[in-house]
Copies of this chain bind each other. A is one copy, B any other.
Amino acid sequence: MVAKKTIFSTPQDAEAAFYDAIERADLDALMAVWAEDEEIVCIQPGGPRMTGYANVREVWRRIFETGQRFVISMSQPVVLQGMLVTVHSLCEQVSLRGGSAEQTAPLVATNVYVRGAHGWRLLVHHASPAPPEAASENPKTLH
């Protein structure tokens, strides 16, 4: 379990902790990745926009409560790395643990990280459905 005071020295560290916590359905570890002193925003695929730490925590609690466990693979990152704000654009393949290949859903995600007193934290996670054929028409990795 990740303690509340975990310091993520890079946005990449925060992102790795975020997806690891989702795969392990570890709510405390997941919420430790989010910024606490900003208005955080979380959009699940096809879901409503959730804002605020308590609301975001509740939506993930409900997801984990279902007992479904996810396996997420990311690809084709586009990164804008700034001094205080970093944006990651990712293509994701999300599948249920033990599920068949047909149950894999392609998503696109925009993750925004901010640097504060406790290192880099997640500010915005916006994930949405992508076409099944190709999550990205023109894959590139830059920056």
Contacts and interface: CB of A to CB of B under 8 A. Distances in A.
Interface stretch (A7-15, A22-30, A38-46): A38-46
A102 B85 CA distance: 39
B135 A49 contact: yes
B87 A39 contact: no
Interface in A108-139: 108, 110, 112, 114, 123-124, 126, 128-131, 134-138
Given A39-B78, A48-B108, A87-B87, 17 more contacts: A39-B140, A43-B128, A46-B130, A48-B131, A48-B135, A48-B137, A49-B76, A50-B138, A51-B138, A84-B84, A87-B112, A87-B123, A112-B112, A126-B126, A126-B128, A128-B128, A129-B129
